[in-house]
Amino acid sequence: MRVRVLGSAAGGGFPQWNCGCPNCRGVRRGAIAAVPRTQESVAVSADGEAWFLLNASPEIRGQLESFPALHPRGPRDSPIAGILLTNGDLDHCLGLLSLRESYPVTVYATDRVRRGFTDGNVLYRTLERFDGQVAWRSLTPGREEALTVPGGAPSGLTVTAVALPGKPPVHLMGRFPPDREDNVGFRILERSTGRVLAYLSGVAAVTPEVLRALDGAACVFFDGTFWSNDELVALGLGSQRAEDMAHLPIGGTGGSLAALADHRSGRRVYIHINNTNPILREDSAERAAVEAGGWTVAHDGMELEL
Ligand code: MLT
Ligand code: MN
Ligand code: ZN
């Protein structure tokens, strides 16, 4: 399985347009050991021909251009066989609206995430210009689905969605009660090798279900949004704690680094990294701590072969 990180940052990207935190200022000026990052999206493929995007970020156009394997092979074409959505957050969905140039798109999502994006959304009409412009494929936690290529043949990959502790997207909070299909992770299985990519980019807590989702994976991508619970508060950027945003911090006694220390899966990668996170600085103590724990910090353009 080929895996290419198109974007590795959390919502807002790095640097974020309205952020003057030390990381954002530093990376703009080239004054810190850190590289800019676009918002989270990852491409996976079994054969290097048909690709599946995990999330569609607001920066999708530049992200697709950044990776030649995703360029058209004919006058009207795309190697993107499908797009999988982990949740309805705008950093994961807005890119769908940028794929409006009258070309069929297949989107895999829970019914909950599909309805959150389509119901009452006048902008969604841009993806309803012709019958079948978007083919929605329903994901149900625990049920394995074949990822297919246009025409319906198997791609060599399957996906099993896993319900994860999380929250509805900010713009739908209070509209509906929270639901277990609001936020999912993926176990993507390559049938020919039996290798599994576990993709959990939004995780509010490490539960037994989360640990099961990581079991036996050749590679794990995990929520790396914040280092500490009060990161935004301490920097004077807001009142929300990591837990209020349903992101388990990496550091601290209850953080993911400690909680997953005994769960030695294969390659382990933090992704969806907020611009305030000290792990973005290559020379920080926090970066050294995650690397000592066997983790890599995702960066745009990173490629893995499982
Ligand atoms: C999140 O990851 O919590 C969301 O992307 C935040 C947001 O939608 O602003
Ligand atoms: Mn996000
Ligand atoms: Zn910032």
pTM: 0.98
Residues in CB range of 99: below 8 A, 6 or more apart = 56, 60, 105, 127
Instruction: Decide the pairing of beta strands 196-200 and 295-297.
Output: unpaired
Blockwise average pLDDT, block size 10, the chain, 306 residues: 99 98 98 99 98 99 98 98 98 98 98 98 98 98 98 98 97 93 98 98 98 97 98 98 98 97 90 99 98 98 98
Query: According to the model, what pLDDT value does residue 60 have?
Result: 98
Query: According to the model, what pLDDT value does residue 210 have?
Result: 98
Provide the token pair at 52: 């599946």
Cβ–ligand 1 distance for 245 under 6 Å, the answer: yes
Task: Say if CB 148 and CB 217 are below 8 A apart.
Answer: no
Query: According to the model, what pLDDT value does residue 176 have?
Result: 86
Cβ–ligand 1 distance for 271 under 6 Å, the answer: no
Q: From ligand 1's centre to the CA of 38, what distance in Å?
A: 14
Query: According to the model, what pLDDT value does residue 265 have?
Result: 72
Cβ–ligand 1 distance for 196 under 6 Å, the answer: no
Query: According to the model, what pLDDT value does residue 263 have?
Result: 85
Provide the token pair at 54: 């995990």
Ligand 1 atom closest to the Cα of residue 247 is 3
Q: From ligand 2's centre to the CA of 9, what distance in Å?
A: 8
Q: How far is CA 139 from the centre of its chain?
A: 16
Q: From ligand 2's centre to the CA of 95, what distance in Å?
A: 13
Quote the strand ranges of the chain, DSSP E: 2-7, 41-45, 51-54, 80-84, 105-109, 134-138, 144-148, 154-163, 184-190, 196-200, 219-223, 267-271, 295-297, 303-305
d(C-alpha 285, C-alpha 30), whole Å: 20
- Nearest Cα residue to 119 out of 178, 172, 164, 166: 172
